[in-house]
Amino acid sequence: MSNTASARRETLVATAFLGVAAASDDRPLLARLRSGEAAAFEELVRSAGPRLLAVARRMLRNEEDARDAVQEAFLSAFKALDGFDGHCQLVTWLHRIAVNAALMKLRRARRRPESPIEDLLPDFDETGHHLSSIEPWRPQPLAELEREEVRSSVRAAIDRLPDSYRTVLLLRDLEEMSTEETARVLGLSANAVKVRLHRARQALRTVLDPILQ
């Protein structure tokens, strides 16, 4: 396996457990929501709210902004319920709305100059090979990955990435957006998304190497 493929696989393993999957039959709840039942709205907020808040926190890294983004997401979703065609799970639809609400907050925020990602990338020689040997990470049992200190280390490593790279990594590897969808919501070309994702994965792999080796 090439170094690039190995880095991609390992960073995906490291980040995948931060996401949350859900499956359910949404039709009864959706019917209640469309009828205007107040209890249905409360049920949706209770069930989906924690996941949406986790998404917003990852994107924004600020509790107040994250809660504002989730509130905006629910308001937008409630207004658009009649347009929801059921092509995906209700929580997936809400998830996309929350991501967009968080991205809008990021765009409105005053951004500080980013640190260059080159400081986090591995070093290569003139032939393109790693200057130091890259050892594959030992297999991580699920219980090990779910330990809070490991989760915290992964979150901290992601937060070290410059925002323009961190956002691409979050959207592609944690929020599972396609390259084309990521490019559309960020206003980038598909090629720019691929380049940033590749460099973000390389940097994350380098930062996590001492932890997960």
Go through the domains of the chain in sequence order and give each one's CATH number: 3-18+112-212 (1.10.10.10), 36-108 (1.10.1740.10)
Task: Write down the pLDDT at residue 67.
Answer: 96
Band the pLDDT of 39: cuts 50, 70, 90: very high
Residue 20 has pLDDT above 50, yes or no: no
Q: Comparing 51-55, 66-70, 110-114, 170-174, which segment has the lowest mean pLDDT? A: 110-114
Report the alpha-carbon distance of residue 203 to residue 67 in Å, rounded. Answer: 29
Band the pLDDT of 7: cuts 50, 70, 90: low
Q: Helices 27-34 and 38-60: crossing angle, nearest 10°?
A: 110
- Written as six digits, the tokens of 43 are 């049920």
Is pTM beyond 0.85? Reply is: no
Report the alpha-carbon distance of residue 56 to residue 44 in Å, rounded. Answer: 17
pLDDT tens digits, 153-211: 888 888 888 888 999 999 998 888 999 999 998 989 999 999 999 999 989 888 887 76
Q: Comparing 18-22, 103-107, 157-161, which segment has the lowest mean pLDDT? A: 18-22
**Residue where the block lists tokens 């280390």:** 153
Residue of higher predicted confidence among 121 and 4: 121
List of residues 6+ apart from 24 with CB closer than 8 A:
89, 91
pLDDT tens digits, 109-142: 756 567 777 777 766 655 555 556 556 555 554 4
Residue of higher predicted confidence among 10 and 187: 187
Residue 164 Cα distances to 137, 149, 195, angstroms:
27, 26, 11
Burial 186-201 (b: 16+ CB within 10 A, else e): bebeeeebbebbebbb
Average pLDDT, rounded, for the chain = 79
Furthest CA-CA distance within the chain: 65
Residue 21 has pLDDT above 50, yes or no: no
| HEC readout, the chain | CCHHHHHHHHHHHHHHCCCCCCCCCCHHHHHHHHCCCHHHHHHHHHHHHHHHHHHHHHHHCCHHHHHHHHHHHHHHHHHCHHHCCCCCCHHHHHHHHHHHHHHHHHHHCCCCCCCCHHHHCCCECCCCCECCCCCCCCCCCHHHHCCHHHHHHHHHHHHCCCHHHHHHHHHHHHCCCCHHHHHHHHCCCHHHHHHHHHHHHHHHHHHHHHHHC
Band the pLDDT of 22: cuts 50, 70, 90: very low
